[in-house]
């Protein structure tokens, strides 16, 4: 098992965040059981359970490197040391493969929910803002405040982008949707969206204005090594 620093593209880092939560989230994202992860990392399942359930635990560097390799991430990513860094600081991989994604693949990735980037035009020029979103009935929906910048998407042409960057292996994908925004004015429709939405806005506050984006074009691409 390779755990050298070159492959991980990151120097060792002391735990700086909720290690247990990050371990669990990454493991679930990859579809790995606790038993599979522990076995591949060369540790007891009970020890991995202890790490996931007790965020104050500080494992050694060899343990962190082993888990980072199995979970296809970096030590910094597991410990939260990269939380304030933009994605993609690692070097490009050798002989990368660039492929276009099918419409079905784009839809599956877009429907995984999370945070996307909304591109809209304002009176001061184009802007891009992050929003928590869901995909409901084939449309992209998000909640915002009536006077917030994302609300300008209503009644306007917009672009919406989501991506995933794997810094450890210099891989990633991105999906771009272009469409028209519409403010949801029907209270019944708004209540249905609230019931089916994946998450509340991370920004909090009184964000009770729903906007739908109905895509007319969805494209995507993937880089693998």
User: Which helix (H) or strand (E) segment is 109 a member of?
Assistant: helix 103-110
Domain with CATH 1.10.260.40 in the chain: 5-79
CATH 2.30.110.10 in the chain, residues?
A: 97-224
Tell the CATH superfamily of the 97-224 domain. Electron Transport, Fmn-binding Protein; Chain A (2.30.110.10)
Fold of 5-79: 434 Repressor (Amino-terminal Domain) (1.10.260)
> What token pair was written down for 28?
């679930």
Residue 93 has what pLDDT? 60
Q: Provide the whole-model pTM.
A: 0.66
Q: What is the mean pLDDT of residues 36-45?
A: 94
Q: Is the pLDDT of residue 10 over 80?
A: no
The enclosing H or E element of 213 equals strand 209-224
For residues 93 and 9, the answer to whether their CB atoms sit within 8 Å is: no
Residue 2 near residue 40 (C-beta atoms within 8 A): no
133 token code pair: 């979103």
pLDDT tens for each residue of 73-132 = 888 878 877 666 666 666 666 677 889 999 999 999 888 878 899 999 998 899 999 999
């Amino acid at each position: 098992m390779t755990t050298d620093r070159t492959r991980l593209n990151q120097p060792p880092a002391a735990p700086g965040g909720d290690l247990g939560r990050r371990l669990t989230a990454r493991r679930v994202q990859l579809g790995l059981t606790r038993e599979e992860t522990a076995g591949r990392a060369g540790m007891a399942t009970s020890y991995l359970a202890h790490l996931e359930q007790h965020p104050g635990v500080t494992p050694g560097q060899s343990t962190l490197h082993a888990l980072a390799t199995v979970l296809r991430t970096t030590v910094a990513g597991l410990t939260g040391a990269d939380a304030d860094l933009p994605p993609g600081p690692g070097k490009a991989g050798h002989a990368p493969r660039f492929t276009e994604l099918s419409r079905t693949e784009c839809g599956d990735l877009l429907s995984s929910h999370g945070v996307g980037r909304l591109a809209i035009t304002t009176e001061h020029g184009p802007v891009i803002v992050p929003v928590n979103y869901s995909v409901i009935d084939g449309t992209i929906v998000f909640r915002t405040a009536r006077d917030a910048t994302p609300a300008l998407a209503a009644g306007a042409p917009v672009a919406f982008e989501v991506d995933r960057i794997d810094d450890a292996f210099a891989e990633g994908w991105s999906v771009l949707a272009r469409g028209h925004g519409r403010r949801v004015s029907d209270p019944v429709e708004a209540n249905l969206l609230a019931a089916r939405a994946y998450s509340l806005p991370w920004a909090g506050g009184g964000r009770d204005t729903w906007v739908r984006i109905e895509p007319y074009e969805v494209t995507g691409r993937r880089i693998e090594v």
